[in-house]
Structure 1
Amino acid sequence: MTRSSGRHVLFLSWRDLRHPEGGGSELYLERVAAELITQGHRVTLFCQAYAGASKVETRPDGLRIVRRGGRHTVYLFAALLYLAGALGFGPLDRRAPGRPDVIVDVCNGMPFLSRCYARCRVIALVHHVHREQWSCVFGPTMARLGWWIESRLAIRVYRRCPYVAVSESTRRELIELGVDPERITVVYNGTPPVDGAPVARTAHPSLVVLGRLVPHKRVELALRATALLAVELPGLELVVAGQGWWDAPLRRLAADLGIEDRVRFAGFVSESDKHELLSRSWLSLVPSLKEGWGLTIVEAGVRGTPSIAFRSAGGVVEAVVDGRTGTLVDDEFEFFRSVRALLLDQEARDRMGKAAVRHAERFTWPAAGAAFAGVVTGRGPATTPHLANQRVP
């Protein structure tokens, strides 16, 4: 696609990847944006401002980022600035490339409702439905309001818009809420290729949890499993890599469980440190209540590290091929038993790790970008192959 034929795509997202609470959703957005740019599209990301970040930034790959508002006001700023032309698409910014041809409204529970004011094509991007998370984070009143906005109001507002879901699980949940199946395209996450020399596993049993430290990630389950297994496996270590506002309660729980010497809170880790952790660890634990996909699962898979996750947690059922690349469980007791069983069975870990590498290789960012571009241009398929139950060779 030549640059002259490319669209101007505006992503509306409450965060960008460099935000202190940025995670898998933001990584997906920026990697897809990068792929769109390589295909000749122009891409702008609008998101909330935060300390230390510039209001307008243009990345080396061409991605233009505009930051305004805060955690909640970013939604209002998006509407007002779009209508006023001050987002960089009108007379208030002469350097701007023109109004967008397509808006991608990233619906992380709370949508931007851009269909109400935008005069261009709008695509709703949904990582997962937040049915369980609302009550996990908010009180009863706010939880009911948030769920009504997500499950009723947003479905009504975007009723004629195309949707992108990041997993077949999310697609099914959207259909249950009333979205027309023909309007939903599944575009899976990609997986970065292995980079750097191999890193040996730790000599001692080791576990890793990777992700934002928020209640619905349920890192507590990994801490409690570590406490129970520490008696049987005195060398056991758990690394919790990530940052978030739930950090202090998790540290207090580790102290209450008497496992401060067995748990390392690594905080934010760089890409190279992350992949070293995934390479060195015996198992990756994903106790999250809900995930749209499970990016850390396939990232661990690239490094030959099996994962244990919950069957009810949405897209993880596609990221993990149960019994082959890792294990899916139904409750905390089964989670503990599966962690113990795999820590004590090197042959099973090795077999699953090799299968996890093959499974992860199926997902690439160029493929994701090509599929997303098909939705942007209106030429993409309404469905993509369901990979979860395909046989891993």
Structure 2
Amino acid sequence: MSEWRGSATKSFIISRRTGHGSGRLKPLPERYRMTRSTMSEAKIIYVVAPTGAAGGGMGRVKDYMLASGGDSAGRFAFRPLVTRDDRGAAFSVLLLARAVLAIWLMALRGRLAFVHVHFGDKGSAARKGLIVLAARLALVPVVLHLHAAELIGFHAEGSALRKAAIRLPFRAANVVIVLGKLWKDWLATELRIDPAKIDILYNGVPVEPMPRVFEAGRPRTLLFLGQLMERKGTHDLLHALALLPEEAGDWRAVFAGNGDIPFYRGLAAELGIASRVTFTGWVDQNGVREWLARADMMALPSYNEGIPLVILEALGAGTPVICTPVGAIPEVLEEGRDVLFVPPGDHPALARAITRLMTETALLQRLSDAGIDRFRRQFSLDVFIANLFAIYRRRFGLAIEPARRLGLPEARHV
């Protein structure tokens, strides 16, 4: 497949053809080109994602993109298009309609550079798929940024109609961004998407690394960050905590996240560990940073994931991590060096890993130091934004550079 070529005054879109869903290259319509007459007015890059507690990781990545400030020369600017918020799924129908209308109106004004769509599982996939198709109908270029953890299984279990519906947005998108090689290979083999239009982009988070010192003989705090649900292994973690031997010493566990708290609080009582377990409910980014600073370790025994932001935040905070080798996690993290891996659903193995961290202070310190080192090299927010903008330059020929070094921006939701 030919490479995308262009400059600040010339970009391209993909037209439909048979095969892997790639296409012939043709010039962008005049209204989307950057010309001298429009240089004084910034082109808009719409960032499509949910927000608030409903936004999860996708919403936070959207916030991070907005915090970058767009282009340093003011030629391009990010603007959010929210497709779901804390008012529920029904209200998302109105938000979806508003987003489509905003895209079409900005396209007619000639100010829309392209649309960056954060694409998730199930309901998110349906909403964002419509956004992708609506944008392409208006001849607007689209970057589809896949964050889904369950889409592979959802596709495999589906009917021919479901499989075709899942494939369509990926074929329509001009560029597809995925979190790891697992999804690039799946898109190429199962959905027959041209691998030449797929880029791998690892997540990054706004954490200021702070080296920590762990002392022996102190009570240990284990932290779970995320939605309380079976897919995240919440029940497995509670069962593993109930298996901890006396040698684990004095410990407590904090579950920070929304979900069916009454159910899991009841399960903790049934397992006899209710006095050691606290459920905080959903916490904002300031709360996440505070809990990571107070915890001695974090556990996320999920059944499937992308690259969880909470793991990256824990690495940057110097909080040792126990997790499962699912999604792109084993592509970027090494067992015994960066994290401790346990098989999904294996309660005894999870209990043993927790016991090791609670009793082996040297291991805690080694994982903490290694995690900070890995974070600085690969998962800082500045690295993420730099890599994202490199994709924009390579794929669309945009002369675009981050407006500022992000460091540690204020947590925000739009």
| Secondary structure of 2:54 counterpart | coil
**Equivalent of 1:26, from 45, 48, 59?**
59
CA spacing shift, 1:154–1:270, aligned 2, 3 Å: closer
**Structure holding more helix per residue:** 2
Rounded Cα–Cα distance in structure 1 between residues aligned with 2:281 and 2:201: 30
**Equivalent of 1:9, from 29, 33, 45?**
45
| TM alignment of 1:128-207, pairs within 5 A | 128-131=148-151, 144=158, 149=162, 151-160=163-172, 161-177=174-190, 178-194=192-208, 203-207=218-222
**Equivalent of 2:266, from 248, 252, 261?**
252
CA spacing shift, 1:24–1:132, aligned 2, 3 Å: same
Rounded Cα–Cα distance in structure 1 between residues aligned with 2:153 and 2:268: 23
Per-residue deviation, 1:350: 1.1
* Residue 328 of structure 1: aligned partner: 341
Letter in 2 for 1:224: H
Contact 2:229–2:235, Cα closer than 8 Å, also in 1: no
Say if 2:119 is the partner of 1:107. yes
Give ranges in structure 2 of 5+ residues lacking alignment: 1-7, 9-33, 398-414
Say if 2:372 is the partner of 1:357. yes
Letter in 1 for 2:184: R
CA spacing shift, 1:153–1:76, aligned 2, 3 Å: farther
CA spacing shift, 1:98–1:217, aligned 2, 3 Å: farther
CA spacing shift, 1:367–1:205, aligned 2, 3 Å: closer
**Equivalent of 1:89, from 106, 121, 125?**
106
| Secondary structure of 1:323 counterpart | coil
Per-residue deviation, 1:206: 1.8
| Secondary structure of 2:353 counterpart | helix
| Secondary structure of 1:74 counterpart | helix
Q: CA RMSD in A?
A: 3.4
* Residue 121 of structure 1: aligned partner: 141
Higher relative CO (Cα under 8 Å, sequence separation at least 6) belongs to 2
CA spacing shift, 1:24–1:49, aligned 2, 3 Å: closer
Number of aligned residue pairs: 345
Per-residue deviation, 1:72: 5.4
**Equivalent of 1:242, from 257, 264, 267?**
257
Rounded Cα–Cα distance in structure 1 between residues aligned with 2:305 and 2:275: 30
Per-residue deviation, 1:205: 2.1
> 1:78-114: per-residue Cα shift (whole Å, max 9, x none)?
3x445655986389xxxxx865321122211214223
Task: Tell which structure's C-alpha radius of gyration is larger.
Answer: 2
* Residue 61 of structure 1: aligned partner: none
* Residue 89 of structure 2: aligned partner: 71
> 1:11-63: per-residue Cα shift (whole Å, max 9, x none)?
222x21xx2333222111221233252543222222246568xxxxxxxxxxx
Moved more, 356-365 or 155-164: 155-164
Contact 1:200–1:280, Cα closer than 8 Å, also in 2: no
CA spacing shift, 1:34–1:275, aligned 2, 3 Å: closer
Give ranges in structure 1 of 5+ residues lacking alignment: 53-69, 92-96, 382-393
TM-score (norm 1): 0.76
Say if 2:301 is the partner of 1:301. no
